[in-house]
Structure 1
Amino acid sequence: MRLHVGCAMWTHKSWQGRFLAHPLPGGERLRAYAGWCTAVEGNTTFYATPAGETVASWARQTNPEFRFVLKLPKVVTHERRLTGADEELRVFLNAIEPLGPRAHALWIQLPGSFGPADVPALARFLRGLPTSHRYAVEVRHPAFFSDPQAVRMLEETLVTVGAEWIPFDTTAFFRTPPTSDAEREAWTRKPRTPPRTRALTDRPIVRYLGRDDPARTVEGWQPWLDVVTGWLREGRSPTVFVHTPDNADAPDLARRFHGEVRARLPEVVPLPEPAPVGPSTLF
């Protein structure tokens, strides 16, 4: 049984000297992060397609079981809304080739304005994608969480091509008002999306947003322990990404989630042991 866990990034200023050695060359940070977590969100690919050598470096720093969930470029999903972006998509797919099996899923995050009327465009886009990759879709339009017909239409579209539906659970975050600058910023930017616990494939992906207080983050993810444990017992292999507004403790929290699941299911493959982190130094 394999449960992969990870964060929204593999390097963060607040992790230096705590989770990652400091100083550490940029080309070694992903390797150090991969000692803590076994997956990472590829948010940077939304803004720019990386150079081939950059992607090759990512592959060298991780083993083949490590999972990248890479976001499609915004020109494809938000600017062109899945239509007329064949060249941009081709360049992106060519760029990520060095990852091989590490490219666990290509993440199609759609804007909040992309609603039920746009599902036919999504269906055409998915049918045109190469079958050599897995795909996962994240939607934010309210109808996909409240209208049974819209839910059914989207599910049928995804199931037809073997794509997953990524939930972004922000309910724990929005339960009470923000108490820090990072939480106040996230309060204005993050979508208010409810949890969705139905998996469509054998590789479900969850994005969970907690609070800057680790105890409240852990409290908020308790329902997901039952869901993820159930998926594992069904033979699925989930990936869970743990976010907090400041992400200061995200690697430790991701490992803690994995540990709480493994306490229920000891058969789950353990996480790697992180490399020792020495004291911070100026030299």
Structure 2
Amino acid sequence: MRLHVGCAMWTHAPWQRRFLPHPLPPDERLRAYATWCNAVEGNTTFYATPARTAVESWARQTSPDFRFVVKLPKAITHERRLNGADDEVRAFLDAVEPLGPRVHALWIQLPGSFGPADLGGLARFLHRLPRSHARAVEVRHRAFFEDARSERLLEQVLTSAGAEWVPFDTTTLFRSRPTSDAERDAWTKKPRVPRRSRALTGRPIVRYLGRDDTSGTVEGWRDWAGTVAGWLREGRSPTVFVHTPDNAEALPLARRFHDDVRALVPEVEPLPEPEPAEPPTLF
């Protein structure tokens, strides 16, 4: 039984020399990250379709059971709003093909303006995607969280296409006033929507945003630890991504979440031991 956990990126300046070796060439950074976590959010693909050669390097640096949840480019989701983007989708799928089974899901993050009136377009888009790829949808329009009919209609669209609803849980961040510059910045940019914890498929994906204070982050994920443990007992295969506003401690926090779930479900396989940030010395 495996639980996949990860962060929003695989390289981050505050991690250097603390958690990951530095300097590392670009074609070694993901490999070092993968000794800490067994999944990563593919956020970089939101800004542009990656070069196939770059994706081939990602595949070389990870094992086949490592998970990428790759975000579709904003040209598809935000600019075209899922309409008339067949060429862009084909180019993206061709680019990520070298990852093979590592592509755990195609992540369709929709803008906050994408609401109930757009569900027909989402349904058509999901059914045009190849069935060989799992798909996961993140919505931010408040109607999907506050209006029961809109929520039900979205679930029907997702279920009919075998797609998962990805919650981005920011409730811990917004529970109290920000106390750092990074938290203040997150308050202006992150969606403020209710927590949602219902899985639609056997492959649920959670994005959890805590605080820059470690204790606040850990306290805020207690319910998620229990939910994820329940999914594992049901035979589901969850993936959880841990964020904080500055992400300085995100790597060890992701592993700590894994430990918390494993304490509830001891059958979960442990994560590998991380690669040391500094080479061992003789004395």
TM-score by length of 1: 0.98
Q: Match for residue 203 of structure 2? A: 203
Contact 1:6–1:40 (Cα < 8 Å) also in 2: yes
Question: Equivalent residue of 1:88, what SS?
Answer: helix
Task: Name stretches of at least 5 consecutive residues in structure 1 with no aligned partner.
Answer: none
Pairwise CA distance, 1:24: 1.2
Q: Give CA-to-partner distance per residue, 1:76-102, whole Å, 9 cap, x none.
A: 000000001111111101000000000
Contact 1:138–1:165 (Cα < 8 Å) also in 2: yes
Q: Match for residue 147 of structure 2? A: 147
Q: Match for residue 37 of structure 2? A: 37
Pairwise CA distance, 1:14: 0.3
Q: Match for residue 134 of structure 1? A: 134
Distance 1:240 1:193 in 2: 18
Q: Match for residue 62 of structure 1? A: 62
Q: Match for residue 116 of structure 1? A: 116
Question: Equivalent residue of 1:107, what SS?
Answer: strand
Q: Match for residue 236 of structure 2? A: 236
Q: Match for residue 167 of structure 1? A: 167
Question: Equivalent residue of 1:96, what SS?
Answer: helix
Distance 1:103 1:121 in 2: 24
Which 4+ residue blocks in structure 1 deviate beyond 6 angstroms? Answer: none
Contact 1:136–1:166 (Cα < 8 Å) also in 2: yes
Question: Equivalent residue of 2:18, what SS?
Answer: coil
Distance 2:231 2:47 in 1: 32
Superposed counterparts of 1:241-260, under 5 Å: 241-260=241-260
Q: Give CA-to-partner distance per residue, 1:5-31, whole Å, 9 cap, x none.
A: 000000000000011101111110100
Distance 1:26 1:214 in 2: 29
Q: Give CA-to-partner distance per residue, 1:61-90, whole Å, 9 cap, x none.
A: 000000000000001000000001111111
Distance 2:212 2:6 in 1: 17
Distance 1:131 1:261 in 2: 31
Distance 1:183 1:146 in 2: 25
Pairwise CA distance, 1:251: 0.6
Distance 2:107 2:194 in 1: 19
Q: Match for residue 17 of structure 1? A: 17
Q: Give CA-to-partner distance per residue, 1:114-155, whole Å, 9 cap, x none.
A: 001100100000111111100000000001001111111111
Q: Match for residue 179 of structure 2? A: 179
Q: Match for residue 189 of structure 2? A: 189
Distance 2:198 2:42 in 1: 23
Distance 2:132 2:263 in 1: 35
Q: Superposition RMSD on alpha carbons, in Å?
A: 1.0
Q: Match for residue 26 of structure 1? A: 26
Pairwise CA distance, 1:277: 1.6
Q: Give CA-to-partner distance per residue, 1:229-259, whole Å, 9 cap, x none.
A: 1100100010000000000000100000000
Question: Equivalent residue of 1:131, what SS?
Answer: coil
Number of equivalences: 280
Q: Match for residue 3 of structure 1? A: 3
Q: Letter of the aligned partner of 2:195 in structure 1?
A: P
Q: Match for residue 266 of structure 2? A: 266
Question: Equivalent residue of 1:68, what SS?
Answer: strand
Distance 1:272 1:160 in 2: 37
Question: Equivalent residue of 1:241, what SS?
Answer: strand
